Amino acid sequence: MTEAFLGVAAHFADKKTHVRHHLYLSCVSFPPPHKAKNVYELFKLEKWGINPEKASVVMTDNASNMIAAFKLYDKKLVECVTEEDELQVIEEAMV
């Protein structure tokens, strides 16, 4: 059996300079069960000093547990299929 991991990244732009920043916040071991509630508990913006009100988009893959987990978060949910989808969402969120 292989080990599962959950990675969290943040993408944002400085409002004054419009410089884009990409931060990898965490990559943690994610033991079973991979239920939505467990994903939701691992993904707490406050852990990294981020005000949840400042997050405009939550982006995830199309796994059913990820979609269910982030529907618990009161944010726009974007389900991505490809890296190109991800890049487009990041671009739109930074404008």
DSSP string, 7-76: EEEEEEE-TTT--EEEEEEEEEE-PSP--HHHHHHH--GGGGT--GGG--EEEE-S-HHHHHHHHSSSSE
Q: Provide the pLDDT for residue 33.
A: 92
Q: Provide the pLDDT for residue 32.
A: 92
Model confidence pLDDT, tens digit, residues 42-62: 877 777 777 777 777 777 778
pTM: 0.62
Model confidence pLDDT, tens digit, residues 57-94: 777 778 888 888 877 766 666 666 566 666 676 666 65
The total number of structural domains that make up the chain? 1
Between 10 and 35, residue with greater pLDDT: 35
User: Which residue range forms the structural domain that includes residue 79?
Assistant: 5-93
Q: Provide the pLDDT for residue 35.
A: 92
